């Protein structure tokens, strides 16, 4: 009877760790890097022309861009689909207020999504105005889609050289702007970068919480949470093996 109890407990533990391993593998597949192949269909330009920068490692934000024709730049911003809006802002001074941002989202049911330009005119939500801003977006180029648990927001800007001070933000989970006002709630996290469009490398600032972003005050960057596969320094399969040995020893 005692052996059956131990076997049942070990079976439950095994099922839990197999489930955990499945989650970890899914997250790993959803991660992107500049060495990954773009999974987008019907891409309007040759992907090999795109320069790529990992602009925000905490949130796995990847920015790909290229000057496709004279005074026209193509951008693709990708990140994990966290059931929240994603945003990229173009600033003259590295701060949010006064900049223009492109914000995109796909609802958690996957049935609707949208992307818009916003004017970041002030520090309150009422000052963040949809369908306004200084960016000259090529008609029909702004779109967002979800592929393999990642969001890909693409657009084209008409500019001799886009602004080099870039802002990135992620909205609160399970909130999506809705018609008719399309108001945004305050972001959950944001960071800043400075990019050189010719050479490619970017200088990344700290991750900031709401309130600090508009003043430019710095905060210690948030450290990414350890993945389940690295808990206690052991993989799920090895951790299960250790627990099994302990259980049989006490038996």
Q: What is the DSSP string of 110-171?
A: SS-EEEEEEEE-SSSGGGEEET-SS--BPTT--EEEEETTEEEEEEEEE-SS--SEEEEEE-
Per-residue pLDDT averaged across 204-221, rounded? 50
Per-residue pLDDT averaged across 19-46, rounded? 67
Report the candidate in 185, 155, 156 with the shortest Cα–Cα distance to residue 84: 185
Tell me which fold the domain 44-204 belongs to: Immunoglobulin-like (2.60.40)
- Per-residue pLDDT of 95-153, as tens digits, reads 999 999 999 999 888 878 899 999 999 988 899 999 999 999 999 999 999 999 999 99
User: Taking a C-beta distance cutoff of 8 angstroms, is the pair 180, 199 a contact?
Assistant: no
**Lookup result for tokens 């958690």:** 108
Question: Rounded distance, CA 126 to CA 119, Å?
Answer: 11
pTM above 0.95, yes or no: no
Q: What is the DSSP string of the chain?
A: -HHHHHHHHHHHHHHHHHHHHHHHHHHHHH---TTSPP--SS-SS-GGG-EEEEEEGGGTEEEEEEEEETTEEEEEEEEE--SS-EEEEEESSS-STT-EEEEEEE-TTSS-EEEEEEEE-SSSGGGEEET-SS--BPTT--EEEEETTEEEEEEEEE-SS--SEEEEEE--TT----TTT-PPPPPSEEEEEEE-TTT--EEE---B-TTTTTTT---PPPPPPPPGGGGGG--HHHHHHHHHHHHHHH-
Residue 30 binned pLDDT confidence (cut-offs 50, 70, 90):
low
For the chain, what is the mean pLDDT?
78
What's the confidence (pLDDT) of residue 25? 41
Residue 8 binned pLDDT confidence (cut-offs 50, 70, 90):
very low
227 pLDDT higher than 50: no
- What backbone phi and psi angles, to 5 degrees, belong to 41? -90, 155
Question: Rounded distance, CA 178 to CA 41, Å?
Answer: 27
């Amino acid at each position: 009877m005692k052996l059956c109890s131990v076997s049942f407990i070990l079976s439950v533990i095994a099922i839990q760790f197999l489930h955990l391993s499945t989650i970890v593998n899914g997250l790993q597949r959803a991660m992107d890097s500049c060495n990954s192949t773009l999974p987008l269909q019907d891409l309007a330009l040759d992907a090999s022309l795109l320069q790529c920068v990992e602009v925000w490692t905490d949130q796995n934000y990847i920015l790909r861009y290229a000057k496709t024709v004279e005074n026209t730049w193509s951008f693709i911003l990708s990140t994990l689909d966290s059931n929240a809006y994603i945003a990229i802002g173009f600033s003259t001074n590295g701060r949010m207020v006064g900049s223009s941002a492109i914000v995109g989202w796909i609802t958690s049911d996957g049935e609707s999504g949208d992307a818009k330009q916003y004017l970041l005119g002030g520090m309150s939500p009422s000052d963040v105005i949809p369908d306004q801003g200084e960016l000259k977006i090529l008609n029909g180029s702004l779109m967002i889609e979800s592929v393999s648990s990642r969001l890909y927001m693409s657009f084209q800007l008409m500019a001799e050289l886009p602004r080099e001070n870039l802002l990135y933000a992620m909205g609160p989970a399970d909130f999506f702007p809705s018609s008719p006002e399309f108001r945004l709630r305050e972001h959950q996290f944001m960071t800043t970068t400075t990019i050189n469009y010719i050479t490619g490398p970017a200088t990344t600032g700290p991750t900031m919480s709401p309130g600090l972003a508009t003043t430019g005050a710095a905060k210690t960057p948030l450290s990414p949470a350890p993945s389940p596969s690295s808990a206690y320094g052991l993989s799920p399969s090895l951790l299960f093996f250790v627990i099994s040995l302990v259980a049989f020893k006490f038996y």
